[in-house]
Chains A and B, each alone.
Chain A
Amino acid sequence: MTDLLHNEDELLRRLKLYEEQAYRFLYDHYSKALFIVIKQIIPQQEIAEDILQETFVKVWQNIHTYDGSRGRLYTWMLSIARNLSIDRTRSKEFNKQSKTGALQENVYTSAPTEESRVTDVGLKKVLNSIPEENARLIDLAYFKGYTQEEIAKILVIPVGTVKTRMRSAIASLRKLIKPNV
């Protein structure tokens, strides 16, 4: 399946044919990244796993509506995962379950506050290996899914600066890349 790596057109073609191998590649390649994003919103392991599954089901069901104008396949899956997570936090059933749980505020509705601090231990470790300023930006944009405007508000910087700082933040992540992960 390495022929599908960095070949999004081919991957998409096979996904649209519902080839199991293509979906397996998709899962192997993206599930962990999606799972971590889901866990930022839903900390409970089982519910997060359930949402991860739902995300891939939705991809299967809606693959024909994906056209790339909303971003890359990965971007599209990220937004499905985030939206499903947020929908779940709003459901009655979930609120009952998590009364005693340590649920974070919904990222889209909560006011940007200290909330946006990195709480996840594993994530902290990764973000600790890059400059603090960059780590905060990565956490907000990537793991927490804030918009440009929201990030500008939280960090008290102009919206345009979010863009340039995002580039250097991801550049610092790129330096971490090990060959053949």
Chain B
Amino acid sequence: MDLSCIISSGDLELYVLGMLSSEDAYKIEQLAKLFPEVQAELYAIEDALLNAANEVEESPSAAVKDQLFNRLKSLPVGNDATTSLPGAIPLSDGHTTAKIIPMYQPNRSNSGLIAAAVIGVLLAIGSIAYTFINNNRQRVQMAAMQQQMDSLQNYAAAQQQQLAQYASDMRFYRDTGYKMINLKPMPNRPKDILAQVFWDTRTKAVYATNISLPKAPEGKQYQLWAFVNGKPVSAGLFDEKTGTVEQMKTFNQAEAFGITLEKAGGVSSPTVSEMYVLGKV
């Protein structure tokens, strides 16, 4: 995924400064979780802001820190009585606890109201819990989708490449300028093996493709031979990969083409007993 547009958009700066809507901020948060580059950029922005502040010759006095930590030690941990919104309730004087005055005294006559309030609160908690669970699920889903998208993209690219290959190979069958020679199995070979040679009658270039030759064993390679005036001449090593057409050596004349299985790297004259397929021009 190309992240440069996100990084250069200015949204990350606004996020760190707290200037984004919560919806947009949530998106940035998710991106930062998925992509370390985004996370790194956020830290760099934060560092720039902190650094700018550090340049200012103004500081809280050293006593503030000691006072603060003495105070924190006396505080209960996980104080849930305070509001969840930052700064929504002013701590009028942090050293004294505000007296809590109930809005009204509950009595029998408004028990219905209380029940409704309780139901309301339960519903709210339920919906918050649901949103929370949903958010987590969405996070996981988003990561999975990203992965899926990447693999689909790779698959599409591979398919496209193969399609282009096919389109290019089709000319051998369509263009009558190519003479197609079917190389058929020798009597001692399986009946279903086949390779094809295309000989360009204009340029004399020779191409070959494997249709159904068996996979060459380790350390062995197929080699194509042209029979010129009764003598075999190497046309080159032959990739056994099916579905592709390979260009071999060029021959001005030949009576037949054949393929033998030879040691890897090829040989100068064919091992006749290892002849697999042969086809007359």
Contacts and interface: CB of A to CB of B under 8 A. Distances in A.
B15 A71 contact: yes
Given A54-B91, A64-B78, A122 B56 contact: yes
B92 to A, nearest CB: 7
A148 B64 CA distance: 33
A61 B48 contact: no
A71 B94 contact: no
B46 A74 contact: yes
B47 A53 contact: no
B8 interface: yes
A71 to B, nearest CB: 5
B49 A142 contact: yes
Contact of B45 (A52, A58, A170): A170
Given A56-B72, A163-B11, A166-B10, A141 B51 contact: no
Given A32-B53, A69-B26, A87 B17 contact: no
A65 interface: yes
A80 B86 contact: yes
Contact of B64 (A52, A68, A163, A178): A52
A83 B13 CA distance: 21
B86 A58 contact: yes
Given A57-B72, A80-B87, A83-B87, A36 B58 contact: yes
B261 interface: no
A57 B71 contact: yes
A83 B83 CA distance: 13
B25 interface: yes
B88 interface: yes
A53 B53 CA distance: 18
B60 A69 contact: no
A177 B59 CA distance: 19
Interface in A146-171: 147-148, 163-167, 169-170
Contacts of A84: 87, 90-91
A65 B58 contact: no
Interface string A15-35: 000101001100101111101
A75 B16 contact: yes
Contacts of A24: 69
Contact of A39 (B45, B58, B67): B58
A105 interface: no
A20 B72 CA distance: 9
Contacts of B239: none
B43 A53 contact: no
A62 interface: yes
A142 B54 CA distance: 14
Contacts of A52: 60, 64
B176 interface: no
B18 A70 contact: yes
B17 A177 contact: no
A6 B32 CA distance: 13
B243 to A, nearest CB: 48
A166 B11 CA distance: 9
A70 B79 CA distance: 20
Given A31-B65, A79-B86, A166-B10, A173 B75 contact: no
A49 B60 contact: yes
Nearest to B55: A126
Contacts of B51: 173, 176-178, 181
Contacts of B25: 69-71
B58 A72 contact: no
A82 interface: yes
Interface of A: 6, 18, 20, 23-24, 27, 29-33, 35-37, 39, 45, 48-50, 52-54, 56-58, 60-62, 64-65, 68-72, 74-76, 78-84, 87-88, 90-91, 120, 122-123, 125-126, 138, 141-142, 147-148, 163-167, 169-170, 173-174, 176-178, 181
Give 10 nearest A-B pairs by CB, closest first: A83-B87, A87-B90, A33-B53, A163-B10, A167-B10, A65-B84, A122-B56, A75-B18, A173-B48, A80-B86
Given A23-B72, A122-B56, A165-B10, 8 more contacts: A33-B53, A48-B60, A49-B64, A64-B80, A69-B22, A75-B18, A166-B17, A176-B48
